[in-house]
Amino acid sequence: MLREMGIPLWVPDVAAAEPSQAVAAPAAGRGESVALAAPALQRRADPGAAVAPVQRRADSGAAAPAISARAESASTARSRGAEESATPARLPGLAPADWLLVADPLDDADPQQQQLLDNMLRAIGLALVAPDRERRAVFCPLAREPASAATRAGDQAALRTAIATVAPRCILALGRPGAAALLGDDVPIGGLRGRVHTHAGVPVVVTFSLVFLLRHPAEKAKAWADLCLAVGALAATAA
């Protein structure tokens, strides 16, 4: 410990002292004391006894940077996780899938919309991220801007691209804008629900928008009926 603190230690010169001769020298009445003193000198002069504790402390000290690095890494991971949890959910891009969903864009400020969409898809065995096309659904958002000739033209172009890329076997229109973009009829949802429509030769089923269902939870039973109708329409295409 003293050596680590920088305090010099006095160690007898064993070679100069020649302890073997000193032990052999007779001393009246002190023979036993001399015989016991020789091992003590040897232990003090043994460099291994002094070096070993220093080496152990050096080893334990070397672990301090590693512990600090692990703590810093854990702190960075927690910070990154907090940032990711605060980041709005992003939908996967276009990919081949049996299902195409057409609706207004999800509101990043309202995570319940994404949660409701995930729950609806899960109820019929689907997901936005799935390993195979049979269980995958692709979300195609419409323009956020108010309806106009320009936005309608943009929606139609987006739909053509989505249908060509996804090659869906069934299309689900959520809400009035999605139904109007697919069917060209801007009519109330009540007049479009309950039957199977077609767009570009693909079955289309219309249901309520996510915003409407969040505001009117009692209508979810009707939305479930629409989902069942869509599942039946897809099954009919495989028959």
Q: Cα–Cα distance between 190 and 100 in angstroms, integer?
A: 21
- Count the neighbouring beta carbons within 10 Å of the beta carbon of residue 189: 20
DSSP character at residue 135: G
What percentage of the chain reaches a pLDDT higher than 90?
Answer: 49
Give the model's pLDDT for residue 202.
Answer: 96
The residue ranking higher by pLDDT, 90 or 223, is: 223
Residue 144's pLDDT is 73
Q: Which pLDDT value is given to residue 148?
A: 73
Query: What pLDDT score was predicted for residue 19?
Result: 42
Q: Which residues share a beta bridge with 207? A: 174
The string of pLDDT tens digits covering residues 86-141 is 333 445 678 999 999 999 999 999 999 999 999 999 999 999 999 999 999 999 99
| Among the ranges given (45-59, 145-159, 165-179, 189-203), the one the predictor scored with the smallest mean pLDDT | 45-59
Mean pLDDT of 8-35: 43
pLDDT at residue 145, as a whole number: 67
Higher pLDDT, 12 or 179: 179
Backbone dihedral region for residue 170 (phi beyond 0: left; psi -120 to 50: alpha; all else: beta) = beta
Q: Which of 1-5, 74-78, 102-106 has the lowest mean pLDDT?
A: 1-5
The secondary element (H helix, E strand) that includes residue 100 is: strand 99-103
pLDDT at 127: 96
Q: What is the pLDDT of residue 146?
A: 65
Phi/psi for 108 (5° steps) reads: -60, -25
Domain ranges of the chain: 14-86, 99-238
**pLDDT averaged over every residue in the chain:** 74
- Binned at pLDDT 50, 70 and 90, residue 238 comes out as confident
β-bridge mates for residue 174, sequence order? 103, 207
* pLDDT at position 159: 92
pLDDT band at residue 150, thresholds of 50, 70 and 90?
A: confident
Rounded mean pLDDT, 151-169: 91
Distances (CA, A) of 171 to 115, 119, 168: 20, 18, 7
What is 99-238's CATH number, 3.40.50.10800, 3.40.470.10, 3.30.230.10, 3.40.718.10? Answer: 3.40.470.10
Statement: residue 211 has pLDDT above 70: yes
pLDDT at 165 over 60: yes
The predicted-structure confidence for 29-65, as pLDDT tens digits, reads as follows 444 433 333 344 344 444 444 444 444 444 444 444 4
